[in-house]
Structure 1
Amino acid sequence: MENGAAQQPQAAYQNPERILQPAFYELNETFDLDTNQLILLEGYKECGHPAVPAVQPYVFDRDRLRKLLAFLDNPEGDGLYLCGPTGCGKTSLVSQAAARLHWPTQMVPVHGRLELDDLLGQKVLENGNTPFLYGALSTAVKEGHILILDEMDVADPSELAGLYDLLDGAPLVLAQNGGEIIPVHPRFRFVATGNSAGAGDGSGLYQGVLRQSLAWLDRFRVIAVDYPDEFTELMILNQVVPNLPVIVREKMVKLANEVRRLFTGGFDGKAVEGESQLSVTLSTRGLVRWAKLSLRFQGAPRVLEYALEQALTARVEPAERQAIHRIGHDVFGDLWSSGVDS
């Protein structure tokens, strides 16, 4: 099968010590919030399950977290689709919520050749036998995991049509395994992410994005995700690279937002007349990469420029690279040349 990442060894979930048991977590403590409400969230007891994502530094947007937790609590027959620009935190929003609730998650990176059988599973040759190896979808439905189809909008809509009945509440039928019927576990959740809203990519920025079937999209509730605001991105950098000087972190966020402004101006007319327009952007993921590399190479000559080239500008056209580095010089002033020790 094309997508080996979609396959999970069946034996990985047979360890008695890793049997999933329900548990409840308090909202404020679990997600580092400060509200005046006592809210309990259902998850699983910590048991070292291999499919539970690792906890990483993450700053949750309250509104998006509220919508996600409402879906995880009771999807009411819906799937969840998170759409937004590259690197804005769509997938990490779900995976980091799952990590804190100890909720096993099956992650499937979608590509244009993904077939339904890649998700369901297949028979394999093993010591002269042909046992059935359950795929990510079958495992999630059977065990009560979260399934994430990452970049779902590059999938062939005709392949996804085979999942309509599942999202309508029907059991999963594995014709490949003698017609095995898997009832849908009450804690199974179907989540997808994409750079488009499902209607194709009019900007031309995301190669391979396909227009998805309206019948398929109608089965999802939608959360629109954008880049965090300046305060939130500063909080992210504070967690990830606390040893970088505060002034450097602040100016990194300022540069990222200036690059994004010139990027969006290139496609929706927001740029000021006469300004250079950019065909690339500095995502939150790219911003974190830049910050980490700046700390890693701290002490090197022109370290901010050196790290930014590795994080972003080495892959853009020379004219745009010069434009972005010129923005860096304008934003950082003398720091651009003196480095992060100043």
Structure 2
Amino acid sequence: MTVDSLRPPAESGSPAPFYRAVGKEVETFRAAARRGSPVLLKGPTGCGKTRFVEAMAHEFGRELITVAGHEDMTSADLVGRFLLKGGETVWADGPLTRAVREGAICYLDEIVEARQDTTVVIHPLADHRRELPIDRLGITLSAAPGFQLVVSYNPGYQSILKSLKESTRQRFVAITLGFPTADVETDVVAREAGIDESTARSLVALGAAIRGLDGSALNEVASTRILILAGGLVAEGLGLRDAVQSAVVEVLSDDPDVIRALGELADAVLPRP
């Protein structure tokens, strides 16, 4: 389990994470946060779900604790467990318990990757109770002011065996995020990668072309994230076509035929040097 923790701006002094809205997601999140309502983010890989949560946490001045979901994740990974330290048995809070105690935002990324019996632990936190039972300690914690639960998943990637139970889904305010318009995505790629607008627009055009392929054998399409990675290579002096080959074409597939087809598409879309 991977856990990341970001401190609020008052402690870190860090600038606000750059995020360009693609719809009403900011207004919806603000309303949910004011009510303490949990939020479910749906959208393809690399469309900006994590950056969106980071931007909202910064705006509200709350610590953000991020947990990457996986199939081996247990409720103890979220809540906590007893550990042996110096010959003594001590309790160690999990990331979810820390967020509940401290009034932080707990972001469970790709929540459906965890076993369904694990996600049940969030139910009393995601409804009017806002409580976390810790059976091993025999206590129930009430969520501190400011606590908010945010989960995400990619509905286009998950199989029918990996989906949220209705009893879980109906506790959340759902926000669907997608890839932005070409103009917005160009602005994002140019700013994040540190490249000129013309180069960013070429990368975005390639991303759109890959996303529009009919009957594609790709498991994932070209995300805004990998377009930024390609742009970053260009910013470091690599040629545009070489950057696309390394950060886009070779990343999206291992199949030689698919790689060749993507390369031909890149040659057709990108400007000639």
TM-score, length-scaled by structure 1: 0.72
Paired residues of 1:259 and 1:282 also in contact (CA < 8 A):
yes
Matched, 1:282 2:241: no
For the residues of structure 2 that align with 1:257 and 1:71, how far apart are their CA atoms? 32
- How far the C-alpha of 1:66 sits from its partner, in A, is 1.1
Q: Secondary structure at the match of 2:191?
A: helix
Matched, 1:93 2:52: yes
Q: For residue 12 of structure 1, what is the aligned residue in structure 2?
A: none
- Relative to 1, partners in 2 of residues 1:131 and 1:57: Cα closer, same or farther, differing over 3 Å? same
For the residues of structure 2 that align with 1:241 and 1:112, how far apart are their CA atoms? 33
1:284 alignment partner AA: T
- How far the C-alpha of 1:109 sits from its partner, in A, is 0.3
Q: For residue 271 of structure 1, what is the aligned residue in structure 2?
A: none
Matched, 1:257 2:208: yes
For the residues of structure 1 that align with 2:146 and 2:65, how far apart are their CA atoms? 13
Instruction: Give the structure, 1 or 2, with the largest relative contact order (CA under 8 Å, sep 6 or more).
Output: 2
User: Quick one: which of 17, 20, 25 aligns to 1:59?
Assistant: 20
- How far the C-alpha of 1:156 sits from its partner, in A, is 1.4
Paired residues of 1:83 and 1:193 also in contact (CA < 8 A):
yes
Q: Secondary structure at the match of 1:172?
A: strand
- Relative to 1, partners in 2 of residues 1:100 and 1:7: Cα closer, same or farther, differing over 3 Å? closer
- Relative to 1, partners in 2 of residues 1:137 and 1:63: Cα closer, same or farther, differing over 3 Å? same
1:212 alignment partner AA: L
Matched, 1:140 2:99: yes
Q: For residue 213 of structure 1, what is the aligned residue in structure 2?
A: 165
2:230 alignment partner AA: W
- How far the C-alpha of 1:332 sits from its partner, in A, is 2.4
Q: For residue 12 of structure 2, what is the aligned residue in structure 1?
A: 48
- How far the C-alpha of 1:85 sits from its partner, in A, is 0.9
User: Quick one: which of 128, 143, 146 aligns to 1:184?
Assistant: 143
Q: Secondary structure at the match of 2:163?
A: coil
- How far the C-alpha of 1:62 sits from its partner, in A, is 4.9
Q: Can you list the C-alpha shifts for 1:192-211, whole angstroms capped at 9, x where unaligned?
A: 00001xxxx6xxx4479613
1:313 alignment partner AA: V
- How far the C-alpha of 1:83 sits from its partner, in A, is 0.6
For the residues of structure 2 that align with 1:209 and 1:72, how far apart are their CA atoms? 30
TM-score, length-scaled by structure 2: 0.88
Paired residues of 1:80 and 1:221 also in contact (CA < 8 A):
yes
For the residues of structure 1 that align with 2:261 and 2:4, how far apart are their CA atoms? 44
Instruction: Summarize the alignment of residues 2-151 of structure 1 with structure 2, pairs less than 5 Å apart.
Output: 3=1, 5-6=2-3, 46-48=10-12, 55-75=16-36, 78-151=37-110
Of all paired residues, the percent bearing the same amino acid is: 23
- How far the C-alpha of 1:149 sits from its partner, in A, is 0.6
Q: Can you list the C-alpha shifts for 1:52-79, whole angstroms capped at 9, x where unaligned?
A: x87443323351111111111213xx42
For the residues of structure 1 that align with 2:228 and 2:4, how far apart are their CA atoms? 30
Q: For residue 191 of structure 2, what is the aligned residue in structure 1?
A: 239
- How far the C-alpha of 1:175 sits from its partner, in A, is 2.2
Larger radius of gyration: 1
- How far the C-alpha of 1:292 sits from its partner, in A, is 0.5
For the residues of structure 1 that align with 2:86 and 2:95, how far apart are their CA atoms? 23
Query: Which structure 2 segments of 5+ residues have no match?
Result: none
For the residues of structure 1 that align with 2:245 and 2:161, how far apart are their CA atoms? 27
- Relative to 1, partners in 2 of residues 1:7 and 1:322: Cα closer, same or farther, differing over 3 Å? closer
**Residues 125-134 or 218-227, more deviating:** 125-134
Q: For residue 226 of structure 1, what is the aligned residue in structure 2?
A: 178
Q: Can you list the C-alpha shifts for 1:103-143, whole angstroms capped at 9, x where unaligned?
A: 10111100011111111111222222222111111111111
For the residues of structure 1 that align with 2:15 and 2:77, how far apart are their CA atoms? 25
Q: For residue 155 of structure 1, what is the aligned residue in structure 2?
A: 114
Q: May I ask how many residue pairs the two structures share in their alignment?
A: 268
- How far the C-alpha of 1:166 sits from its partner, in A, is 2.4
Query: Which structure 1 segments of 5+ residues have no match?
Result: 9-17, 19-43, 267-276
For the residues of structure 2 that align with 1:103 and 1:173, how far apart are their CA atoms? 23
- Relative to 1, partners in 2 of residues 1:194 and 1:57: Cα closer, same or farther, differing over 3 Å? same
Q: Secondary structure at the match of 1:142?
A: helix
Q: Can you list the C-alpha shifts for 1:128-167, whole angstroms capped at 9, x where unaligned?
A: 2222111111111111000111001222112212322222
Paired residues of 2:187 and 2:197 also in contact (CA < 8 A):
no
